[in-house]
Chain A
């Protein structure tokens, strides 16, 4: 197998486009022309290794060009606003303006780093592995977990992985087979495969998986979303890395094969039924290999053997070496790479995304010690070449030069794009008034007073809300001995925890809260409010277990449709604006983020183009000084008072209540950050003073679902009266109070004894005492007018919530 030349200096635009498309390079014409003029300047034709290297380095996946591009944006046909890069204008700017001194490293390394205690910092990274999981759910999801663990391992001089978090979006499990787009896997197959892949990789790595979420929408059928996150623990003096000319380039771990070729550029293409023929784009995972690497690298790190480290992710060696040697230069001899089998072309060796490989910059004097360490644990390590001071990336194969690229051109030569974005506010049909909606469900009783018991059960059993215990129990959420707030809580260990808390240093009570917020349904109405609500929800989950805004950091993960389509990009602009507005209002900085674009599926039979709902996952982490002050969501004892904190607005748009009745509506919940911040700050203080027995965030299904979950998780009944819940003047219906998903609200359990102290702390915050917990298993809710609107037993509510996925759905 030899290096090939690809003549591009004397070809026209049509030919350039053809070369990109047929080579699966995902480069647009402007980019191809930039490459063409570089090689005209060099006075030679590029090699296949060079073209592929540039395509990987410039891929959406590696360089996030949409987030860096200049955008001409117009809202509702109005004037054009020019945005100089979404990332710089909204994400990075928010973090800079918030200016938290506990942010150690943001946006530069493989994960964001924040301070933990005097000795350690915390690294946190979340990534997507959507396209691979669509084609091969088990392998795609498993290597998603493996990849994000290597991000922790490749942060600073290597963080020890201490926690996994996973969020999935799938098509409906009961989808009729004749509704399945041509060539796509059934959601049930994707669901089971993804869960098994995450389970087998995470469990075998000995990392607790203690936080996550699973959501369903028919538009995720052809293009499911798989978000994998990892938290790492890293010594304070191991957070900085550097590369010196003369350092050896050492590859550690698995061998290189033809698996995972073109993964980076593949993720910049839309999917269709031909995508499954691209089998080699999905990598093959081996968690035990990765565990061996962790063991060896942690030891090598502690002995100070290497100077820099990164993982081989998208783009394989081409990205890892190209990135590490950016400011120096690098020389690589591809024949040194250990292969799984013979027959790989030089460019394939260079690009392969074969898993479980790390690249180190190693001072030559430490080579012997490093090799001895690797040999003792049967981990393969190979010197590929060295870092130089040439500012060039030189790659040779069997003595022949395969690539020689200026680092400057490789990293800075990408032409800045200008993209067009538009946003038109959609208008969905409003449902008829409350009586008609509930009447449709046949639950009006004789006296014309609506009974919402069935609605509550229907929402509890709806796939997004229902218990995911079947999944959660397949993950080891106890390993490493430090998970003190578990994903399932309550008297029977089966209630839905708002967030998890881990103590990564055994014997210390210092902990980390990890939570998430996501609500793609809202983005149908407005991605701005969907993003705002995702941030609010992630923060609510943190606050609900005892965290504080002032020590909370956020991660953003955008999964969007094709950004070359102005309407999709318009939604992305809206979401990015919300990220800036809400994060700065709450004072919670972004420390890391990622975007996965081109999440669309083309059904070649119907010709229909299916874009996913625009989805922003917000992950949050919060360092807390004393985990003993953390609280859980399960009701603790009978006779305590139940409070609603935060105001309910007439916001049923895109709610689960509308959803079960077949409507979307338009009144999407909006975030009022001044109100939200005051509420969360007051609540954090009350939790710290131990005035709160239990606390649950109000999200999907509103007050009704949150109160029901608290009651059945604790094994106690509740008597509630909606008239006492704080509400906006426009709220007149009991269903709005029960099911509106207004932001920044919590349900709390407070003892009579603490009543006065608690209410004093809540001054200036809307709150209301809506009832109390009772010994009997009755769940009774009175409406604003005093009639009973829900009357049932907690066992019935729990059964509705648990039955949906009891045996895997």
Chain B
């Protein structure tokens, strides 16, 4: 079975992570936050590396939220 995008809970302490994510943006302007997000995406995408997983992540992220 090829590696797949993990869509089950995988972050050991979700509250800690979420807090850290918001803290990283604390006090930043919109432009600075956008830049931080872009750097974060690139860092994580490189860590993943696998093109099939990246494609699947793009697909999942592109799904329109249910209205």
Q: Tell me if chain B binds chain A.
A: no
Give chain A's interface residues, CB within 8 Å of chain B: none
Report which B residues bind A (CB closer than 8 A). none
